[in-house]
Amino acid sequence: MPARVLPSVLAAVCGGGILWQATDGAQAFTSEAARRLEVAMSPRPVPQVQLEDMAGAAVELRPQQGEVVLVEFIYTVCGDICQIAAADFAEVRDRLRARGVPARLISISFDPARDTPEQMAVYGDAHQADGGMWTVARPLPRDLPKLLELFDVTVIPDEWGGFQHNAAIHVINGAGRFEAVFDTDAVGTVLAHLQKAPS
Footprint of other proteins on this chain (CB under 8 A)? Answer: 4, 7-8, 10-12, 14-15, 18-19, 22-23, 28-34, 154, 156, 158-159, 164, 166
Q: Which is nearer to other proteins, 26 or 58 (CB)?
A: 26
Q: Which is nearer to other proteins, 60 or 158 (CB)?
A: 158
Q: Which is nearer to other proteins, 28 or 122 (CB)?
A: 28
| Smallest distance, other proteins to C-beta of residue 126, A | 24
Q: Which is nearer to other proteins, 33 or 122 (CB)?
A: 33
Reduced 3-state DSSP string for the chain? CHHHHHHHHHHHHHHHHHHHHHCCCCCCCCHHHHHHHHHHHCCEECCCCEEEECCCCEEECCCCCCCEEEEEEECCCCCCHHHHHHHHHHHHHHHHHHHCCCEEEEEEECCCCCCCHHHHHHHHHHCCCCCCCEEEEEECCCCHHHHHHHCCCCEEECCCCCEEECCCEEEECCCCEEEEEECCCCHHHHHHHHHHCCC
| Smallest distance, other proteins to C-beta of residue 154, A | 4
| Smallest distance, other proteins to C-beta of residue 130, A | 31
